[in-house]
Chain A
Amino acid sequence: MITKRIIPCLDIKDGRTVKGTNFISIKDAGDPLELARKYEEEGADELIFLDISATERKTELLTELVERLASELSIPFTVGGGIQSVDAAYTLLRNGADKIAVNSAAVYRPELISELSHAFGAQCIVVAVDAKKELDDWWVYTHGGKKKTDRLLYEWGKEAESLGAGELLFTSMDHDGTKKGFACEALKKLNETVRIPIIASGGAGAKEHFTDVFKETNVDAALAASVFHYQEISVPDLKRFLAQAEVHVRL
């Protein structure tokens, strides 16, 4: 049986991690590679790097970082943040990224998903979706949650899948940062809507939240950032906890 994946997510700005960490063993808390290495050693199944920088040197710095990450990591990693074209994706993949995540650009130009999928295969295209619940509907937001769109989560997920996405990364904006648990209900429904793997994101605050999301929904992976960076939850502890709760994980 395939295992449920635990994915630490690192926000990158100008080649550095945005929020520091309090890992005592890490000398330079801003160096993504040092943090990534640490997570790999601890048994993280995959890593995601989201670049939020908006400078002219963005592409150059991100490419350099990807090259460094790829030379050292022996687990898969995804890179996202502002990728708008096949060429941009190609540069990152050629330098060793395993998957590319697209978000806003895909919402405004859905053909981007099919272009990427044709060029590189569905398995390396992650469509990231940020959504927020209003009354009974989940609306898709772009630009880091700043812009509301006229798209609904489940329909957009389904469309992304049919265009050739290999995986969906769904972040509930209502849950993100609350540390009160994942958006299990929406994740469950999204999971019933598509057949591609889903990464749950937003709301992780305790180990139990991971058990809940894996037991209550059939998502394939769960992502978190700050709880890992600030050692509120350690990856090995979390995995042992999940294994005890009979969630199948890689130990």
Chain B
Amino acid sequence: MIGIIDYGAGNTKSVMNALDRLNVPYFLSDEVKELRSADKLILPGVGHAKKAMQQLQERQLIPFIQTYEKPFLGVCLGMQLLASFTEEGNTKCLGILEDQVKFFSLDQEKVPKMGWNTIQPSKDVLMKNIPDTAYFYFVHSYYLPSSSYSIAEAEYGIKYTAAVRKKNFWGVQFHPEKSASSGALILQNFINL
């Protein structure tokens, strides 16, 4: 059973709908006790990083996530929160990754980045059967720089992290729940873990 962390993120419903379309059972909760019983967790995320961290803090979810040992997937802002810090509201994040999330300060490209982009996936179980021609839907103004934990990169003026993995923690910058069949495949890969 998948647990979706309910902390008021904007795309929670979309993630639930996507799991419904895949016929995958899930539950929504903001309680550590319940979330602990899940086989895997998804942290959705649309909104402001500072508010998101406050919401997680209020629900006492931060230490729980930081010590989580089963498969975990952060989506969009949910991925950025895995970092140590974000320039969005100068917010301290979960610190699963040492990296810091930065604002897109690009001369050539528009901000927010909004639209469909291909990614360059590397070998990881989450990227199984994802070709480098598959498109994903991105909407964001902040990005996680590429690192040794990147399992896919996207390009927008610069190359940056489209998907990341550190141990049991995965994160995707794009919205798999809004990326048609390619997005469904990513979610299915996570479900199959």
**A interface residues (Cβ-Cβ under 8 A, vs B):** 1-5, 40, 45, 70-72, 74-76, 93-96, 98, 120-124, 166-167, 195-197, 220-221, 250
Contacts and interface: CB of A to CB of B under 8 A. Distances in A.
19 contacts: A2-B138, A3-B115, A40-B180, A71-B20, A71-B21, A74-B21, A74-B181, A74-B184, A75-B137, A75-B179, A96-B17, A120-B10, A121-B10, A121-B47, A121-B48, A166-B114, A197-B110, A220-B115, A250-B116
B183 interface: yes
Contacts, number: 92
B155 A1 contact: yes
Task: Tell me whether chain B's interface is mostly helix, strand or loop, or mixed.
Answer: mixed
B111 A196 contact: yes
Nearest to B184: A74
A167 to B, nearest CB: 6
A195 B110 contact: yes
Contacts of B137: 75-76
B116 A5 contact: yes
B141 A124 contact: no
Contacts of A197: 110, 112, 114-115
A75 B114 CA distance: 13
Given A2-B117, A3-B135, A74-B21, A122 B141 contact: yes
Interface residues of B, number: 36
B141 A250 contact: no
Given A76-B137, A93-B10, 11 more contacts: A2-B115, A2-B116, A45-B115, A74-B21, A74-B179, A75-B180, A94-B13, A96-B17, A98-B139, A121-B10, A197-B112
A74 B110 contact: no
A213 to B, nearest CB: 15
A71 B185 CA distance: 17
Given A3-B116, A121-B47, A220-B114, A75 B178 contact: yes
Contact of B117 (A1, A93, A95): A1
Contacts of B155: 1
A98 B112 contact: no
Contacts of A1: 117, 155
A75 B115 CA distance: 11
Contacts of A121: 10, 46-48
Nearest to B88: A121
Nearest to B139: A123
A159 to B, nearest CB: 17
